[in-house]
Amino acid sequence: MRDRTYLTFFAIGIAVIIIHSSFQPGSHALCDAPLLGSAHSGAPGEVNCTGCHSGTINTGPGSVLVDLGVPGNVYTPGLTYTATITIYDTGLNKFGFQVTILEDSTNTSTGAFAITDAVNTRLIPDVTREYVGNTPCGADADSIGELTWTFDWQAPATSEGTLTAYISALATNHNHNTSGDNTYTQTVSLTPEFPAGIYGLSMLKKGFRVYPNPASGQVTIGITQSVSKFARLKIQDVLGKTVMEVTGETGLLNLDFSEYPAGIYTISMKDNGLITTEKLIIQK
């Protein structure tokens, strides 16, 4: 009976110690960060981490380092870049972040995020914008004082003008309330390698090939994936009369010119408001 009593008191004592320690300031339970919703990146119309935590942005002793992987912050449409975000704050080991990338002209999301580390980062669903942030386990730092996250971002397929990445990051003392935490924000401006329209036109010119040329009957038009699914093709004779008009999809389009008179024809392709042309010679 005495042994059983001692064991009972021992078990109670251990439980009290565990409960007490778990509520001490600075305690660190793994994977217990909240599942943050969207619109906390500090982008126009949004809050940053101070929407839930006390303090003034960028006044703490730490910092956030943002590298979107875009050389010189000049993006090439369609390319994928690996982004790295690192937060530093001495003595802390619980962190979080959220980022979105918007077109300056519309303040809407552009490009596409891809998760490369599902344990620590996640896509955050939203009706109008796209976000990447930390998972609950992704808030836990292995080394006290810093934490790094990585993810991919694919630039939009065509130039969308100047873009801005909005980043909000949090360093927390994990004292189970919102006091004593530090919020850091940063913006990164991305400019296009090609001005709007020029890149799209250059891709469109590469987007279709006409062969054989000259031809006597069957003509094949090869349409590449750089062209959207429903590009309009118009064929005109030397007098400017439209003799054929079709919708071209990605792949090979075969046209029969055997019944058309010899001469020079113009094939125009219109895609996303841009037009490019090729000359076709029909011989008999």
Q: Could you read off the pLDDT of 223-279 as tens digits, one per residue?
A: 764 555 556 788 999 888 999 988 766 567 888 999 999 999 998 887 666 677 889
- Predicted TM-score (pTM) of this structure: 0.63
What is the distance, to the nearest Å, from the Cα of residue 61 to the centroid of all Cα atoms in its chain? 30
pLDDT of residue 139: 96
Using CA atoms in the order 37, 41, 43, 44, what is the torsion angle rounded to 10 degrees? 40
**Confidence at residue 133, expressed as pLDDT on a 0 to 100 scale:** 98
pLDDT of the residue at 264: 92
pLDDT value for 202: 57
Please list the alpha-helical segments (H only) found in the chain.
Answer: 2-22, 198-205
SS3 134: strand
Q: Report the C-alpha dihedral over residues 113, 118, 119, 120, rounded to 10 degrees.
A: 0
If 0-12 CB within 10 Å is exposed, 13-18 middle and 19+ buried, where does residue 139 land?
Answer: buried
- In this structure, what token pair is assigned to residue 156? 């939009």
Q: What are residue 43's phi and psi, to 5 degrees?
A: -70, 165
Instruction: Give the per-residue pLDDT at 9.
Output: 39
Looking at residue 270, its pLDDT comes to 75
In the chain the domains, ranked by start, together with CATH numbers, are 26-192 (2.60.40.680), 198-282 (2.60.40.3080)
Q: In which residue ranges of the chain is pLDDT below 50?
A: 1-27, 199, 225
Give pLDDT, residue 201: 54
